[in-house]
Amino acid sequence: MSADSMATGRNEHYTRTLWRRFRDWRGQRPFWAGLFTLIGGIPIAYFPYASLKLGHLTLSMSTTAGAGSLIIGVLLVTLGLTMWFHHIVRVFAGVAAILLALISIPVANLGGFVIGFVFALLGGALSVSWVPGKPIVHEAEPVAPPERAETPPAALAPMSAEPVDPHEKTTIDPHGGRNSAG
C-alpha cells in the first residue's frame, strides 16, 4: 500500500470510507446538539398520546394539552434537524429549543416526564455554544536564520578621554585601540 492509496481512499473497505465521511460531516456542524434536541422532542410529543395496557387496565396519559405537546415536540425535532443541515442558524435554533423546552414543562406533562425537557435544554445549550473550528493547515514553518550576536564597533573600542574628530577617518584596532588613518 502506498501513501497515495491511503490518501485517496482506494484499497479501503467501504464502511471505513463511509465512517470517515460521516465523521467529517459531523465535525462541521453541531451534531450532538441536534441529536439531543431531536431526542428531546420525541418524548414530549409521544407521552400525551401514549396508552399503556396492564392486563385489563388501560393507563392513558392523554391530556387536554395534547395538541400543544404535539406542536412542541414536532418543533423540537425540526429544530434538531435544522441544527444538522442549516448550521448557520444554530444560535436561533438553540435559543428556540431552550424556550420550547421551558414551555414544555407546564404544557406537555412536565416536559415529557422531564426526559424530553432535559434533552431539549441540553441540545439547545450545546447549539448556542457551538463554534465552527478552524481548518488545520499543515504547512512547514519557515526556519529563520540564526541570529548573530553583533556588537557595535563603539562598544568594542575603549573610551578615551581625548575627543574624536567626526571628520577624521578612524579604524578599529583588533587589540582595542583607535588608529587614525589620514
Query: How high is the pLDDT of residue 169?
Result: 63
Spell out where the chain has E strands.
51-54, 57-60, 170-172, 178-180
176 or 125: which carries more pLDDT confidence?
Answer: 125
The arithmetic mean of pLDDT across residues 167-172, rounded, is 63
Q: In degrees to the nearest 10, what's the CA dihedral of 110, 92, 122, 78?
A: 70
The arithmetic mean of pLDDT across residues 7-29, rounded, is 82
Q: What is the CA radius of gyration of the chain?
A: 36
* All three cell numbers of 51: 396508552
DSSP string, 33-97: HHHHHHHHHHHHHHGGG-EEEETTEEEE---TTHHHHHHHHHHHHHHHHHHHH-GGGHHHHHHHH
Residue 108 has pLDDT above 90, yes or no: no
CB 35 within 8 A of CB 77: no
149 or 81: which carries more pLDDT confidence?
Answer: 81
CB 97 within 8 A of CB 118: no
The arithmetic mean of pLDDT across residues 130-145, rounded, is 73
Query: What number of residues does the chain have?
Result: 182
pLDDT band at 27 (very low <50, low <70, confident <90, very high): confident
Query: How high is the pLDDT of residue 109?
Result: 79
The arithmetic mean of pLDDT across residues 99-127, rounded, is 91
Backbone angles phi, psi at 144, to 5 degrees: -75, 145
